[in-house]
């Protein structure tokens, strides 16, 4: 008996020494969590005042929730309501004391803040998935998160007062399931964005990386404690250790969402520009330091201007080029310098994406991207110069243009579109119209302005195709699901497809939406550059009409002069049902056949021209990869 008592006393002394040491670790984590969460809250409110971004308000709620959780946990430690306190009393032989009302309330409030933080990270991932803060209904989501967090806190706090073993286990399992479901939701949103918008801008990739790291940190720091709760009420020693891991989460939130620390290993920078390495071009004012200043030869003449860019014509290395430069209006105003640089940073990111996309597209009917540089302190894209301007300019300036030339220009634009759509992965333009098709001095049409174009692919589908090809399995083309969808509204209202018009916030761009826009561009060719629905003043009225099946009217005079095949092709391009529209390849074949027929003025050659052109197309398609 004496030996047993001495052994128990020795074990108690060892345990007491261990728990005394662990208390220092726990207090260190708690103080760090309080400081980190307070920093995140201050950082977020400062950015919100500067940029007025809704996402900064979300981060503010996360920071305040983390601070409430950390501060209440400090109070629990001080009052010895935590697992460390329970374990210390058990080791010292005092035993557990009855659960007090204050202890229940404090535990509920603490876990309320804990779950509030997690739920708003879920909302942040939803914003990233939908690419719009319109889906973040602040008041509604705040109310939902309040209710969910209150339920979670009450269930967690009630664990201390449940004596029934089955009831305790079921309650703990439900809490674990709730917590796991939130992490799975975040992971699912991250995976969805990776698959559907793989070449978004640098900030988008950065958010994806940070949310992915958050899932790992949150699972590592919180789930062991929940597993300890499910296992038993008696394992207070394991609970004392795993409870401390929870305090790592506010620290991780501050690092991930309150700093510019990169969350993944970066590959070494390459001197060769590649769209997959646009991360090497950092956003912000430091970006221009990595770009070479354009040394022009001769005068620099402004030839165009948009909301965020100015286009100049100049000479560079002996050739005529077009420089698309970021607008620097208002940069001199000292009061708005910081806000202005934030705006410039966002536009610079778009320019990097456009350069990355243009660098991969080499085709005779796509404007040639030459380099990314800087001019007088602003970033600029240097492209080949197309002397005749846009196709719309050409149509307006030449109202008597013969149909042979019109069809040839349309055919050349269709070749550029087919090249984009037949790439693997494919490219979507999302803003095809006559003003985004340029014409060179020798009357060659080229698709341009990839400012809102996006690469779209589904890696699972691509991988499956490669596996099938490796096994000699032939895939059927008919009925194949188009996995090249891209979300987020883009383009110009009057050129967009009805499925986009019906719900712009949840639209899915794919080949069919590009084809619809190309059909409207063909209508512009038929009408010599008219604006679709020019008799309707407001875009929202056009949205309703197009969604209900209305299309731009064919002027009777233009309809009489147009080739019937051209009119039928327009109708097929803008069919109400996306799966009934022509493909870019079909458009190219029909326009090529029609162009051959018109230029030779021989109806008997129609069948032969189609076969001859079809053969030439497939030869060109096989060799098109050499343009990359």
pLDDT at 483: 40
Using CA atoms, how far apart are residues 309 and 71, in angstroms rounded to an integer? 49
pLDDT at 587: 94
Cα 275–chain centre separation: 16
The H or E element containing residue 370 is strand 369-375
Mean pLDDT of all residues in 14-20: 55
- Contact present, 56 and 78 (Cβ < 8 Å): no
Nearest alpha-carbon partner for 523 in 546, 500, 503, 548: 546
**pLDDT band, very low/low/confident/very high, at 140 (cuts 50, 70, 90):** confident
Q: What proportions of the chain, in percent to the nearest 5, are helix, strand and coil?
A: 65, 10, 25
405, exposed or middle or buried, with CB in 10 Å at 0-12, 13-18, 19+?
Answer: middle
Q: How far is residue 454 from each of residues 266, 275, 276, 424, 514, measured CA to CA in Å?
A: 23, 12, 13, 13, 12
Using CA atoms, how far apart are residues 102 and 86, in angstroms rounded to an integer? 16
pLDDT at 421 over 50: yes
Using CA atoms, how far apart are residues 244 and 221, in angstroms rounded to an integer? 8
- Contact present, 258 and 210 (Cβ < 8 Å): no
Binding residues for ATP: 324
Helix and strand numbers, DSSP H then E, in the chain: 20, 11
pLDDT at 307 over 90: no
Mean pLDDT of all residues in 195-206: 52
Task: Please tell me whether residue 270 adopts helix, strand or coil conformation.
Answer: coil
Q: Which residue has the higher pLDDT, 248 or 289?
A: 248
User: Within 13 A of 278's CA, how many CA atoms are on the CB side?
Assistant: 26
Q: Which residue has the higher pLDDT, 462 or 571?
A: 571
Mean pLDDT of all residues in 290-310: 73
- Contact present, 112 and 152 (Cβ < 8 Å): yes
If you write DSSP's letter for every residue of 582-595 in order, what string do you get? PPHHHHHHHHHHHH
Instruction: Tell how strand 508-509 and strand 486-487 pair up.
Output: antiparallel
Nearest alpha-carbon partner for 246 in 221, 218, 224: 221
Nearest alpha-carbon partner for 197 in 480, 458, 495, 384: 458
Q: Which residue has the higher pLDDT, 332 or 527?
A: 527
Spell out the residues 6+ positions from residue 29 whose beta carbon is closer than 8 angstroms to its own: 244, 247, 248, 251
Binding residues: 324
Name the DSSP class of 378.
E
pLDDT at 333 over 60: no
Mean pLDDT of all residues in 167-192: 85
pLDDT at 136 over 60: no
Read off the tokens for 466.
């490669």
pLDDT at 73: 87
- Contact present, 86 and 236 (Cβ < 8 Å): yes
| Mean pLDDT, rounded, of the chain | 72
- Contact present, 346 and 327 (Cβ < 8 Å): no
- Contact present, 117 and 250 (Cβ < 8 Å): yes
Interior angle at CA 233, CA 231 and CA 239, nearest 5: 75
610, exposed or middle or buried, with CB in 10 Å at 0-12, 13-18, 19+?
Answer: middle
Q: Which residue has the higher pLDDT, 368 or 503?
A: 368
Least confident window among 140-149, 286-295, 494-503: 286-295
Spell out the residues 6+ positions from residue 353 whose beta carbon is closer than 8 angstroms to its own: 199, 200, 201, 278
pLDDT at 281 over 50: no
pLDDT at 20: 66
- Which pLDDT tens digit goes with each residue over 158-171? 777 777 778 878 88
Read off the tokens for 464.
């499956």
pLDDT at 106 over 50: yes
Q: How far is residue 148 from each of residues 52, 156, 178, 255, 313, measured CA to CA in Å?
A: 28, 12, 10, 26, 59
pLDDT at 423: 79
Highest mean pLDDT among 133-142, 469-478, 486-495, 554-563: 554-563
pLDDT at 135 over 70: no
Task: Provide the edge-to-edge strand list for the sheet that holds 378-384.
Answer: 297-305, 309-316, 319-326, 378-384, 369-375
pLDDT at 437 over 90: yes
Full set of structural domains in the chain with CATH: 10-257 (1.20.1070.10), 275-384 (3.30.200.20), 391-627 (1.10.510.10)
**pLDDT band, very low/low/confident/very high, at 327 (cuts 50, 70, 90):** low
Least confident window among 26-40, 43-57, 279-293, 335-349: 279-293
Using CA atoms, how far apart are residues 244 and 251, in angstroms rounded to an integer? 12
**pLDDT band, very low/low/confident/very high, at 450 (cuts 50, 70, 90):** low
Least confident window among 57-66, 200-209, 340-349, 610-619: 610-619
**pLDDT band, very low/low/confident/very high, at 444 (cuts 50, 70, 90):** very high
Q: What is the 3-state secondary structure (H, E, C) of 38-103?
A: HHHHHHHHHHHHHHCCHHHHHHHHHHHHHHHHHHHHHHHHHCCCCHHHHHHHHHHCCCCCCCCHHH
- Which pLDDT tens digit goes with each residue over 362-418? 889 998 888 878 777 777 888 889 989 899 999 999 888 999 999 999 999 999 999
pLDDT at 306: 67
Task: Please tell me whether residue 581 adopts helix, strand or coil conformation.
Answer: coil
Using CA atoms, how far apart are residues 72 and 100, in angstroms rounded to an integer? 16
- Which pLDDT tens digit goes with each residue over 583-603? 999 999 999 999 988 888 544
Highest mean pLDDT among 122-136, 276-290, 450-464: 122-136
Interior angle at CA 428, CA 288 and CA 464, nearest 5: 110
């Amino acid at each position: 008996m004496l030996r047993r008592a001495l052994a128990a006393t020795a074990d108690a002394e060892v345990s007491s020494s261990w728990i005394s040491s662990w208390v220092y670790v726990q207090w260190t984590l708690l103080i760090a969590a309080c400081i980190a969460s307070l920093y995140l809250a201050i950082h977020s409110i400062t950015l919100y005042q500067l940029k007025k971004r809704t996402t900064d308000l979300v981060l503010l709620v996360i920071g305040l929730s983390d601070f409430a959780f950390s501060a209440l946990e400090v109070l629990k430690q001080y009052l010895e309501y935590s697992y460390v306190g329970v374990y210390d009393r058990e080791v010292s032989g005092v035993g557990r004391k009855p659960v007090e009302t204050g202890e229940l309330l404090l535990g509920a409030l603490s876990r309320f803040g804990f779950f509030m933080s997690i739920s708003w990270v879920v909302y942040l991932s939803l914003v990233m998935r939908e690419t719009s803060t319109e889906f973040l209904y602040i008041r509604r989501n705040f109310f939902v998160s309040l209710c969910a967090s209150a339920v979670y806190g009450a269930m967690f706090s009630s664990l201390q007062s449940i004596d029934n073993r089955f009831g305790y286990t079921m309650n703990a399992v439900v809490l674990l399931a709730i917590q796991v479901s939130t992490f799975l939701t975040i992971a699912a949103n991250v995976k969805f964005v990776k698959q559907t918008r793989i070449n978004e801008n640098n900030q988008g990739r950065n958010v994806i990386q940070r949310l992915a790291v958050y899932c790992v940190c949150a699972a590592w720091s919180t789930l062991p404690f929940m597993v300890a709760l499910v296992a038993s009420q008696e394992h207070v020693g394991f609970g004392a250790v795993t409870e401390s891991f929870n305090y790592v989460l506010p620290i991780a939130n501050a690092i991930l969402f309150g700093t510019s620390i990169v969350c993944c290993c970066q590959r070494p920078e390459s001197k060769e520009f590649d769209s997959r390495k646009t991360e090497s071009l950092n956003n912000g004012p430091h970006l221009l330091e990595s770009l070479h200043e354009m040394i022009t030869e001769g005068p620099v003449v402004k030839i165009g201007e948009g909301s965020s860019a100015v286009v100049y014509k100049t000479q560079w290395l002996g050739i005529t080029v077009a420089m698309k430069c970021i607008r620097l209006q208002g940069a001199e105003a000292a009061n708005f310098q910081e806000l202005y640089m934030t705006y410039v940073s966002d536009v610079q990111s778009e320019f990097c994406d456009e350069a990355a996309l243009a660098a991969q597209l080499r085709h005779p009917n796509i404007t040639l991207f030459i380099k990314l540089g800087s001019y007088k302190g602003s970033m600029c894209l240097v492209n080949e110069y197309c002397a005749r301007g846009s196709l719309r300019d050409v149509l307006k300036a030449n109202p008597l243009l013969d149909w042979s030339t019109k069809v040839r220009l349309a055919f050349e634009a269709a070749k550029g579109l087919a090249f984009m759509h037949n790439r693997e992965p494919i490219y979507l333009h999302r803003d095809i119209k006559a003003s985004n098709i340029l014409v060179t001095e020798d009357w060659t049409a080229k698709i341009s302005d990839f400012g809102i174009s996006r690469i779209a692919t589904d890696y699972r589908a691509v991988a499956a195709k490669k596996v099938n090809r490796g096994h000699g399995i032939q895939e059927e083309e008919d009925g194949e699901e188009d996995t090249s969808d891209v979300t987020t509204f883009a383009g110009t209202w009057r050129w967009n497809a009805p499925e986009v018009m019906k719900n712009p916030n949840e639209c899915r761009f794919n080949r069919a939406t590009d084809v619809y826009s190309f059909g409207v561009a063909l209508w512009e060719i038929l009408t010599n550059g008219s604006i679709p629905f020019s008799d309707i003043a407001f875009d929202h009225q056009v949205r309703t009409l197009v969604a209900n099946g209305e299309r731009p009217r064919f002027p009777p005079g233009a309809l009489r002069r147009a080739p019937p095949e051209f009119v039928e092709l327009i109708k097929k391009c803008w069919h109400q049902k996306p799966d009934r529209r022509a493909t870019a390849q079909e458009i190219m074949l029909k326009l090529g056949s029609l162009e051959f027929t018109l230029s030779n003025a021989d109806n008997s050659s129609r069948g032969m021209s189609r076969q001859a052109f079809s053969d030439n197309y497939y030869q060109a398609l096989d060799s098109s990869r050499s343009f990359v």
